[in-house]
């Protein structure tokens, strides 16, 4: 009960942090646009965009494991500028999730990868390398799904209970991810990132008579949709 309260409180703090960062980025973008009106804009070909490979980890995974002992998540991510405000990006990881309730106990265990691209809506700002990016990704997961125990109650007074289980079976899932995120350079080539997005599941293999309630990298499956948040620490290896 206490852990659930802590988890709900953390979610509220996280949502407030995301809203604050997005509002700050919006104000920053407006100031940038206003400054452009009073300054001579350099030709796009002469803008010194910073090219490189940015690699990082999601620090939300270790936090999740501290809050919930039945949830393990390890995730890395990367991005690289390919042309001006366009980036190729992705992430990969491993996730194990167990859920225990009176009627159902199940475990999901597997790996995932997401690949796609980002568009930086801030553009070039002299002296700054921050990004406010909209991204689109394709996600794929392969995992083991086990129903350790399920209970089906029958009868008017629920006095007839059937107890069963489903042995471990292989499964996979495919989805599309849309997100918006902010990456801020806090030290030279070191970045802190915060992003939120929604997943849309379009295909998955399932256990007999059971939906995939949780998918690695996708999260809790509710009507083929899920919401995700990422908190990253990244380092840029510059090319120029």
CATH number at residue 232: 2.40.160.20
* Average pLDDT over every residue of 225-231: 94
| Per-residue pLDDT band at 46 (split at 50, 70, 90) | low
Mean pLDDT over 182-202 rounds to 96
Residue 4: pLDDT band with limits 50, 70, 90: very low
pTM: 0.77
Per-residue pLDDT at 157:
56
193's tokens: 């990132």
Q: How many domains does the chain have?
A: 1
Confidence of residue 214 (pLDDT cuts 50, 70, 90): very high
Contact 207, 214 (CB under 8 A): no
Rounded average pLDDT over 225-235:
95
- Comparing CA positions, the residue from 52, 128, 43, 61 lying closest to residue 88 is 52
pLDDT class for 27, splitting at 50, 70, 90? very low
Identity of the highest mean pLDDT range in 37-46, 75-84, 165-174: 75-84
Query: Do 148 and 101 form a contact (C-beta atoms < 8 A)?
Result: no
75: exposed, middle or buried (C-beta count within 10 Å: 0-12, 13-18, 19+)?
buried
Q: Which domain holds residue 192?
A: 2-40+49-238
pLDDT in tens, 73-112: 999 999 999 999 999 999 999 999 998 877 789 999 999 9
More confident residue, 161 or 22: 161
Between the CA atoms of 137, 238, 195 and 203, what dihedral angle is there, to the nearest 10 degrees? 20
The band of 207, judged by pLDDT with boundaries at 50, 70 and 90, is confident
137 contact partners, CB below 8 Å, separation of at least 6 = 89, 90, 114, 115, 116, 117, 176, 177, 179
pLDDT at 141 over 90: yes
pLDDT of residue 5: 43
Q: How many CB atoms lie within 10 A of CB 213?
A: 16
């Amino acid at each position: 009960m206490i852990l659930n309260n802590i988890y709900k409180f953390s979610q509220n703090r996280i949502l407030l942090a995301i809203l604050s960062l997005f509002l700050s980025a919006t104000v920053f973008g407006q100031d940038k646009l206003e400054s452009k009106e009073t300054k001579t804009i350099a030709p796009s070909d002469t803008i010194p965009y910073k090219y490189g490979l940015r690699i990082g980890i999601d620090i939300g995974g270790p936090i999740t494991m501290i809050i919930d002992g039945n949830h393990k998540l390890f995730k890395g991510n990367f991005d690289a500028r390919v042309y001006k405000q366009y980036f190729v990006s992705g992430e990969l990881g491993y996730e194990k999730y167990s859920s225990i309730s009176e009627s159902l106990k199940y475990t999901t265990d597997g790996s995932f990868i997401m690949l796609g691209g980002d568009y930086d809506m801030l553009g070039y700002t002299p002296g700054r390398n921050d990004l406010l990016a909209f991204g689109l990704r394709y996600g794929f997961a392969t995992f083991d799904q086990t129903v350790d125990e399920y209970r089906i109650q029958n009868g008017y007074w629920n006095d007839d209970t059937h107890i069963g289980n489903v042995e471990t079976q292989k499964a996979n899932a495919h989805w599309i991810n849309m997100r918006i995120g902010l990456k801020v350079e806090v030290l030279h080539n070191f970045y802190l990132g915060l992003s939120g997005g929604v997943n849309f599941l379009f295909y998955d293999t399932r256990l007999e008579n059971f939906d995939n309630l949780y998918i690695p990298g996708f999260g809790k499956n509710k009507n083929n949709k899920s919401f995700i948040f990422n908190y990253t620490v990244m380092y840029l290896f510059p090319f120029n």
